[in-house]
Homo-oligomer: A and B are copies of this chain.
Amino acid sequence: MSLHKVVIFGVGLIGGSFALALKKARAVEQIVGVGRSLATLERAKELGIIDVVSTSVAQALQDADVVLIAAPVAQTGAILASIAPHLGADTLVTDAGSTKSDVVAAARAALGKKIGQFIPGHPIAGRESNGPEAALADLYVGKKVVLTPMAENDAADIERVALAWRLCGAQLHQLAAEEHDSVFAAVSHLPHLLAYALVDEIASKPHAARLFDYAASGFRDFTRIAGSSPEMWRDIALANQSALVLELDAYITHITALRGALAAGDGAAMEAVFSRAQKARLDWQRTIERAEQSSQEGGD
């Protein structure tokens, strides 16, 4: 596949890495960047991430093959609305948001009859740094990209978006939007909330400085995700409110039971929780390592 023109809204880590990966694969003729900050767009052009800086959505969208929305999720609705009037019949739109039910709803509202041209997506990749400087041509190699197609999407259109991501080195998966949001509430959004809460709890204590002084590598890894952008995670939590509330409730029930076992001195009950968790964690780690090894050995 060769793409004539790809348009990227938001040329930071996620959008910029998509651009660099397509260029590295020699799969695209022209990449147009659109965004709220002209300085960021100019910087992305200097870095060779995009070829053209556009301040006109109409012009940018003309004859575009694929549009990727990789701006902060709170902007997705407004971007879709700005795209809608200029969206030609042969252009597909996808996004990179961490939640999907809300994006689907926003897309339906913004695109109306053109909804079939929007294929929602979520690349499972990231780094701690942001902005065009953080973009990497290899960010998506071996990483999962989850598409959450809707009934209105044509199979051929889904495949075109999937292929663009495959050219970036990604492994493609599909989930229903609600299922996607439930899965990521459990394995990503909940851990972020828990890590933020732990660090805030410790920071709020009168002897916080002494506590941080003795925090070591276990604390470092557990709380690494608490260094993430507060605005981004506020938006993700709100966008995935219902699934995340369910996960939080289940978790609070679980640790309240563990607290009861501890207070009762019930070592067997605690050990049962710890043992099941250890086994699951070690099994998961082995699966990940096997997958990484087989992908290094040239598998898919």
Contact = CB atoms under 8 A, between A and B. Distances in A.
Interface string A238-250: 1001001100111
Contacts of A204: 276
A124 interface: yes
A265 B241 contact: yes
Interface in A182-226: 183-184, 186-188, 190-205, 207-208, 210-212, 214-226
Contacts of A265: 238, 241
A278 B196 contact: yes
Interface stretch (A40-48, A76-84, A130-138, A251-259): A251-259
Contact of A248 (B188, B227, B228, B262): B262
Given A188-B219, A218-B225, A222-B191, A281 B183 contact: no
Contact of A218 (B188, B200, B244): B188
A25 interface: no
A258 B193 contact: yes
A267 B235 CA distance: 8
Q: Looking at chain A's contact residues, is the secondary structure mostly helix, strand, loop, or mixed?
A: helix
Contacts of A288: 220
Interface string A113-142: 000000000001110000000000000000
A288 B215 CA distance: 10
Query: How many identical chains are in the complex?
Result: 2
Given A191-B198, A262-B241, A225 B221 contact: yes
Nearest to A258: B197
A184 B216 CA distance: 10
Interface residues of A, number: 88
Contact of A203 (B219, B222, B277): B277
Interface of A: 124-126, 144, 146, 173, 183-184, 186-188, 190-205, 207-208, 210-212, 214-231, 233-235, 237-238, 241, 244-245, 248-252, 254-256, 258-259, 262-263, 265, 267, 270-271, 273-282, 284-285, 287-288
11 contacts: A125-B216, A144-B214, A187-B216, A188-B216, A191-B219, A194-B198, A197-B258, A198-B251, A212-B284, A220-B285, A238-B262
